[in-house]
A and B are shown apart, each in its own frame.
Chain A
Amino acid sequence: MKFKLKNFISKNTSFISTVPAVLWQVLFLYIPLVLVVYMSLQRYTGAAFFDLTFSHYYALLTSSYAYIIVRSAMIALGVTLFCLVLAYPVAYFLALRTSERWKNILLFLLTLPFWTNFLILIYSWVFVLDQNGLINTILLRLGIIQEPLHMIYNIYAIFIVMIYYYLPFMMMPLYTILEKIQHEVLEASMDLGATHWQTFRRITVPLSMSGIKTGVFLVFVPAFGEFAIPAIIGGGQQMFVGSLISHYFLVTRDNQLGAAFTIISGVVLITCALFFNWLCKVPLQTVQKEMES
């Protein structure tokens, strides 16, 4: 019997080796997801197994909480667009317009936040935006304002800090893709009589499209489920998708509503991602069509 088992193992090593990791992934990622879907349909904790209902979805979709999902999506979209617009020129400069030495220094400074605890990065903004913070102190000393401005614990503060936190996530993929563009391609375009703007629109942007896509996903997905930034900078006042999910699961222990809310937000997120994926294909196709005609 023992011999048989050993024989079986040695014959099927390659199959058996795939089991632990796959099992881990299925047990701790996919089964929990199914469980969340099931919970969202469960009438209450400890209800009979087949006692299922859509009432939680109905309750959420007709309440003002649906508005929170829309607001989170809009804020995540705004943050993503700002990050893209701010990061693109800088990534372009780093990748194509600077000396090796400066490039290394600037890249080092860019990767540093990745290695730093993100709560600290977020917290550092308290000292800039607070009533006695840097901006208010400077403005008061200069006599521009007489009373300190209320800049923290509101939606604008959250917005700024989210842009701040996610900028490196947009920069990195943009830089990586722009660095691969050969100078010759850009020079050829200019030699053939294209203006700077034409070269940028027709050559640089299409070539960097995959980097833009990666960057947008890296920012949009976590920004949508943001939890820590509103908790620290928003003073816990502004409810976001992430804040509300944790509120349901950890504070009110209303797991069924929380699960339903998680599923609804997940569906919204996937829809946004698919829409964006479709959107990315459009400019490429128009450029191709222009080239063909």
Chain B
Amino acid sequence: MKNIASYFLPVCVALLYLFLYLPIFVLIIFSFNNNAFTQSWTSFTTHWYADLFDTAELWDALKNSLIVACSSVALSLTLGSTLIFFGSRFIVQRLLFLFYGSLAMPEIVLAVGLLSLFSFLSVSLGATTLIIGHTLLGLGYVIPILHGRFVELDVNLIEASYDLGATKQQTFFKVVLPLLAPALIAAGLLVFIISLDDFIISFFCAGASVQTLPLYIFAVIRTGASPLINALSTIMLMVSSILVLILSFLQVKKIRGQR
């Protein structure tokens, strides 16, 4: 009896991971399938990968996605750090709740609100409106992260800097910024990923002129899937797993360095 109980949890874990990864493996296998129309296996091929490079629409979508993601990261980090680093603590503390609003609502509500605002002001939809939406989304993550770190910051270090005759700017660039760099990088990375991955706000705020990568994928899936998407998915999976591996490797190194 005790034996069965001790196997219960590992079996649960194995089944859950199978559930999580089985579809992904099937997807990867079918990216090498030489059959464009059905999901039955014919023969091995890599020509879908070659075809990816000739799909101009895809590269255009990727370019748009990167532009929007980079701009949203820059904007939300600038807005967030101005508020947290230079704003008076008294006001920031009392206004912090404003920034949790975007996290507490389903994204579709944000999207509907933005779309209504843009159509009310008769702003035409495009890259700008997308960047506005993604920055709003990003602020919801940037401000809590930065605030959390800023509150933990040792005030003595800042005071010491002032005592030693540094100006406000010098203190910011030489003391505060290096101390908060990890939080800034983490927040920036998060916003980048969120923007790159965002679908709902993009779906509402992009209009007809701009297509981002998720919108492109959605359009292709909807109009009848093509193995091109499998090849694209496989590449994206590889890229993201390599990124996560590098990140976790860096973290392990950092922890070891601290010890």
Contacts and interface: CB of A to CB of B under 8 A. Distances in A.
B and A form one assembly: yes
A26 B92 CA distance: 14
Nearest to A17: B86
Interface string B15-35: 011011111101100100000
A279 interface: no
B12 interface: yes
Contacts of A92: 9
Contact of A258 (B112, B221, B222): B112
Interface residues of A, number: 79
A134 interface: yes
Interface of chain A: mostly helix, strand, loop or mixed: helix
Interface stretch (B113-121, B155-163, B179-187): B113-121
A108 to B, nearest CB: 6
A58 to B, nearest CB: 21
B193 A123 contact: no
B221 A119 contact: yes
Q: How large is the interface on B (under 10, 10 to 19, 20 to 34, 35 or more residues)?
A: 35 or more
A33 interface: yes
Interface string B119-131: 1100000000000
Contacts of B218: 119, 228, 231-232
B9 A125 contact: no
B113, B199, B222: residue with the most chain A Cβ atoms closer than 10 Å: B113
A190 interface: no
A61 interface: no
Contacts of A1: none
A175 to B, nearest CB: 12
Nearest to B87: A18
B197 interface: yes
Interface string B30-42: 1000000011100
Contacts of A249: 112, 115, 204
Interface in A69-119: 86-87, 89-90, 92-94, 97, 104, 106, 108-113, 115-119
A121 interface: yes
24 contacts: A13-B86, A14-B87, A24-B136, A26-B98, A28-B113, A32-B112, A32-B113, A87-B16, A89-B8, A90-B12, A90-B16, A106-B13, A115-B244, A116-B240, A119-B214, A120-B233, A123-B229, A124-B24, A133-B26, A221-B104, A245-B108, A246-B108, A246-B204, A266-B109
